[in-house]
Chains A and B, each alone.
Chain A
Amino acid sequence: MASITVASPANNIICFLADAEGRVLGPPLDLPQDAGPKELQLLLNTILQTEEKLPFAFYINDKELSSSLGAHLLQNKVSVEQILQIVYQPQAVFRIKPVTRCSATIAGHAEAVLSVAFSPDSRQLASGSGDTTVRFWDIYTQTPLFTCYGHKNWVLCIAWSPDCKQLVSGSKDGELRMWDPTTGKAVGNPLTGHRKWITGVAWEPAHLQVPCRRFASASKDGDVRIWDTVLQKSVLCLSGHTLAVTCVKWSGDGFIFSGSQDCTIKVWETTQGKLIRELKGHGHWVNTLALSTEYVLRTGPFDHTGKQYSSSEEMKKAALVRYTAAKHDSPERLVSGSDDFTMFLWEPATGKHSKARMTGHQQLVNHVYFSPDGRWVASASFDKSVKLWDGYSGKFITTFRGHVGPVYQISWSADSRLLVSGSKDSTMKMWDMKTLKLREDLPGHADEVFAVDWSPDGEKVASGGKDRVLKLWMS
């Protein structure tokens, strides 16, 4: 046990440490008043017997502990009669530097840029636009790489496979096309089946299958289709929604969640395409869904170290390790944002009733996103604000105000400390989680910002919008 010098022996505080889910770590401790977060971190590392010194953040009654224990208790008037519960949260070991400047403005698209996505290993960048092309960009030289023609109408969604080998793009006429990122050429024929435009694409997680074969697509015609890239056709069609499906997510447990304009969320299983559960509760269209493990599923086996894998088995194992670490043995959580100005927190594996209802927005919620470590949920709404909620309980934490137009999309940095938001007022803003305030203003776009993405290695942010240029931001 590391020794902590006692300043005033008479004013000790009895407390016990608990983790985010409430499980108590060991017996109650007698700590001196001037113990601060650093001393607590040291203590916790020795109790947990970790090899490296992992950083932690401590919370007493949901307020972060930033000064010494005594000062914090005095400030917040916490009574010392009861045994104090200190909740600890692990923080990411690496720290992402905030991006401050626009390093490049790359023109190329002839119409508005509708979606932007970094590949999971952060080496490639792709964007889909209203001029019916998908373009690949070279991040290191900040120039265009390939232009992929083929779609006949606006390219609405793009999605990288978790092993970085394929890119799928969905367009306004209901077609999906696959592209090879190394050559920029189309792979196979276009996949037809949907009758109206594609609203979302989700790949099967890497830990379930590598090389990635299957993905799900949601469309306005109310169907979710599961496609196989090797067979080049639709293997399953999950119909059940009566109105357009706005969002589809493939969870790490092997379920597919689809949110629709008919105010319901349906949970499907993927072997036979059967409906498992229907989550009802919203009063208006479900616009967006977010899973607590979404970031890990999107990046697959790749993480901030930038390690490359040679064989599929290695990738699968690495992806599984990352997934179980991110899940922390608790069931996956799902947050849905809707046009009825509220969000619901669900635990689909345990039941069909919502765990919490998150109200507070004054306009429709356009985008919700879990932080990569699952601690927080951020929601972007048309009421010009971004709200932060607790990822485990759904409790409201704070509102980020600053935008003067509806906020369209948000993106987290890989260490969950920074959040960037793009809005209709043509600015992007970066918010800090430690201070819960605005960190950086990123102006520069000439028109509405439609898509924002932070690279998984945290180096760059890419954004595209109505002004037809792609902007890359660096620190």
Chain B
Amino acid sequence: MPQGDHIDLARKRHGYRPDYFERKRKKDAREVHKRAAFAQKALGIKGKMFAKKRYAEKAIMKKTLAMHSERTNRHKADDQVQEGAVPSYLLDREQTARAKVLSNTIKQKRKEKAGKWEVPLPKVRPIAEDEMFRVLRTGKRKTKQWKRLVTKVTFVGPGFTRKPPKYERFIRPMGLRFTKAHVTHPELKCTFNLEIIGVKKNPNGPMYTSMGVITKGTVIEVNVSELGLVTPAGKVVWGKYAQVTNNPENDGCINGVLLV
């Protein structure tokens, strides 16, 4: 048995002393006065430290008292008029925030003509030709080296037919052809799986644009008819531009951000 447990052992064996509770009560009552006397008499660093501790205790005590008295307080009814008024048939329904009416299509057309857009990724790493293409050796002795295999993801339209294989210089493998892109709307913050209509501009060069190569930073046109967007004139919008934000050849999917 440890040394200091003789008090507890005595209590277990014989119970509390008869005057124990009264003496405890009185001692605790005297504590308050003792503390106050110490607070008044203590000087120097001791006094300062004690004063700091006491101040923190007082602050907490005041807060709990205020919280208890809240019960009896009466507050004015909260009359705040909320924003976002909806009619009565929409009141009990949660509605997802929808895309607002489009930004000006005329501005977009002008930018299109100039070839400049405000895009989320203005600069991308330039891709060298030997990274983009792999040389394919053909011929009976495998000496001809004029064919190239595209190593990046491409988009070919629905009516695409290959050139006769003997004359095909650039081969776009079927495994790297994609038709859909996961496009995120920047304001709604939700992603849709939309069909690609075409490749608008590849920052690495016009040759890649015409071939339909999709790399990071490419601007593509996607079919947004499922979003239900309408122009101010009342026409339904079905195509919008998006910029690719990942490296599709590494991920196996095309992720992009819608350009609004």
Partners in one complex: yes
User: Cβ of B88 and Cβ of A157 under 8 Å apart?
Assistant: yes
User: Cβ of B232 and Cβ of A154 under 8 Å apart?
Assistant: no
User: Cβ of A405 and Cβ of B85 under 8 Å apart?
Assistant: no
- Measured in the bound complex, the distance between the Cα atoms of B233 and A244 in whole Å is 39
Q: Which of A137-145, A270-278, A340-348, A439-447 contacts B (4 or more CB under 8 A)?
A: A439-447
Residues of B within 8 A of A442 (CB): 234
Q: Could you mark each residue 73-117 of chain B with 1 if its beta carbon is under 8 Å from any beta carbon of chain A, else 0?
A: 000000101011111110110000010110000000000000000
- Measured in the bound complex, the distance between the Cα atoms of B230 and A199 in whole Å is 30
User: Cβ of B98 and Cβ of A424 under 8 Å apart?
Assistant: yes
- The range of chain A's interface size is 35 or more
Residues of B within 8 A of A426 (CB): 101, 230
User: Cβ of B87 and Cβ of A115 under 8 Å apart?
Assistant: yes
User: Cβ of B232 and Cβ of A446 under 8 Å apart?
Assistant: yes
- Measured in the bound complex, the distance between the Cα atoms of B86 and A114 in whole Å is 6
Residues of A within 8 A of B18 (CB): none
**Would you give the shortest CB distance from B78 to chain A, in whole angstroms?**
11
User: Cβ of B88 and Cβ of A156 under 8 Å apart?
Assistant: yes
- Measured in the bound complex, the distance between the Cα atoms of B228 and A426 in whole Å is 10
Residues of B within 8 A of A157 (CB): 88
**Would you give the shortest CB distance from B155 to chain A, in whole angstroms?**
26
CB-contacts of B182-205 with A (<8 A): none
Q: Say if the beta carbon of A427 comes within 8 Å of chain B.
A: yes
22 A-B interface contacts by CB (under 8 A): A111-B85, A112-B86, A114-B85, A114-B87, A129-B85, A130-B81, A130-B85, A131-B85, A152-B81, A220-B91, A244-B92, A287-B89, A288-B89, A404-B228, A404-B236, A408-B89, A426-B101, A442-B234, A443-B234, A446-B101, A450-B87, A451-B87
Contact A197/B101 with A404-B230, A427-B234 known, Cβ cut-off 8 Å: no
CB-contacts of B146-188 with A (<8 A): none
**Would you give the shortest CB distance from B207 to chain A, in whole angstroms?**
38
Q: Say if the beta carbon of A153 comes within 8 Å of chain B.
A: yes
Residues of B within 8 A of A366 (CB): 89
- Measured in the bound complex, the distance between the Cα atoms of B233 and A441 in whole Å is 10
User: Cβ of A197 and Cβ of B232 under 8 Å apart?
Assistant: no
**Would you give the shortest CB distance from A475 to chain B, in whole angstroms?**
18
Residues of B bordering A, CB below 8 Å = 79, 81, 83-89, 91-92, 98, 100-101, 225, 228-236
- Measured in the bound complex, the distance between the Cα atoms of B101 and A114 in whole Å is 20
Residues of B within 8 A of A246 (CB): 88-89
**Would you give the shortest CB distance from B185 to chain A, in whole angstroms?**
15
Count of CB-CB pairs between chains A and B under 8 Å = 78
Which residue in chain A gives the minimum CB-CB distance to B231? A443
Q: Say if the beta carbon of A269 comes within 8 Å of chain B.
A: no
- Measured in the bound complex, the distance between the Cα atoms of B233 and A200 in whole Å is 33
User: Cβ of A132 and Cβ of B81 under 8 Å apart?
Assistant: yes
- Measured in the bound complex, the distance between the Cα atoms of B170 and A372 in whole Å is 68
Residues of A bordering B, CB below 8 Å = 111-112, 114-115, 129-132, 152-154, 156-157, 197-200, 220, 244, 246, 261, 287-288, 366-367, 384, 404-405, 408, 424-427, 441-444, 446-447, 450-451
In addition to A112-B85, A132-B81, A153-B81, 19 A-B residue pairs with Cβ atoms within 8 Å of each other are A111-B85, A112-B86, A114-B85, A129-B85, A130-B81, A152-B79, A156-B91, A157-B88, A200-B88, A220-B91, A220-B92, A404-B225, A404-B228, A404-B236, A405-B98, A426-B230, A443-B231, A443-B235, A451-B87
**Would you give the shortest CB distance from B211 to chain A, in whole angstroms?**
34
Which residue in chain B gives the minimum CB-CB distance to A384? B228
User: Cβ of B101 and Cβ of A154 under 8 Å apart?
Assistant: no
Residues of A within 8 A of B81 (CB): 130, 132, 152-154
Residues of A within 8 A of B100 (CB): 447
Which residue in chain B gives the minimum CB-CB distance to A428? B234
User: Cβ of B89 and Cβ of A367 under 8 Å apart?
Assistant: yes
Residues of A within 8 A of B234 (CB): 427, 441-444
Residues of B within 8 A of A447 (CB): 100-101
- Measured in the bound complex, the distance between the Cα atoms of B89 and A197 in whole Å is 12
- Measured in the bound complex, the distance between the Cα atoms of B92 and A426 in whole Å is 21
Residues of A within 8 A of B231 (CB): 443
Which of B79, B81, B88 has the most chain A CB atoms closer than 10 A to its own CB?
A: B88
- Measured in the bound complex, the distance between the Cα atoms of B173 and A314 in whole Å is 84
Which of B225, B228, B233 has the most chain A CB atoms closer than 10 A to its own CB?
A: B228
**Would you give the shortest CB distance from A198 to chain B, in whole angstroms?**
7
Which residue in chain A gives the minimum CB-CB distance to B237? A404
Which residue in chain B gives the minimum CB-CB distance to A367? B89
- Measured in the bound complex, the distance between the Cα atoms of B87 and A22 in whole Å is 41
Which residue in chain A gives the minimum CB-CB distance to B85? A130
Contact A199/B101 with A404-B230, A426-B230, A443-B233 known, Cβ cut-off 8 Å: no
- For the complex of A and B, 4 pairs with smallest distance between CB atoms: A130-B85, A443-B234, A404-B228, A114-B87
Residues of B within 8 A of A425 (CB): 228, 230
User: Cβ of B88 and Cβ of A198 under 8 Å apart?
Assistant: yes
- Measured in the bound complex, the distance between the Cα atoms of B234 and A443 in whole Å is 5
**Would you give the shortest CB distance from A122 to chain B, in whole angstroms?**
23
- Measured in the bound complex, the distance between the Cα atoms of B101 and A96 in whole Å is 32
Residues of B within 8 A of A197 (CB): 88, 91
Which residue in chain A gives the minimum CB-CB distance to B234? A443
Residues of B within 8 A of A450 (CB): 86-87
Contact A427/B86 with A132-B81, A197-B91, A446-B101 known, Cβ cut-off 8 Å: no
Which residue in chain B gives the minimum CB-CB distance to A448? B98
- Measured in the bound complex, the distance between the Cα atoms of B230 and A427 in whole Å is 8
- Measured in the bound complex, the distance between the Cα atoms of B100 and A460 in whole Å is 28
Residues of B within 8 A of A112 (CB): 84-86
- Measured in the bound complex, the distance between the Cα atoms of B80 and A152 in whole Å is 9
**Would you give the shortest CB distance from A113 to chain B, in whole angstroms?**
9
**Would you give the shortest CB distance from B64 to chain A, in whole angstroms?**
34
Residues of A within 8 A of B84 (CB): 112, 130
- Measured in the bound complex, the distance between the Cα atoms of B235 and A422 in whole Å is 15
- Measured in the bound complex, the distance between the Cα atoms of B234 and A395 in whole Å is 32
**Would you give the shortest CB distance from B75 to chain A, in whole angstroms?**
17
Which residue in chain B gives the minimum CB-CB distance to A132? B81
- Measured in the bound complex, the distance between the Cα atoms of B88 and A244 in whole Å is 11
- Measured in the bound complex, the distance between the Cα atoms of B93 and A366 in whole Å is 12
**Would you give the shortest CB distance from A290 to chain B, in whole angstroms?**
14
User: Cβ of B228 and Cβ of A405 under 8 Å apart?
Assistant: yes
Residues of B within 8 A of A451 (CB): 87
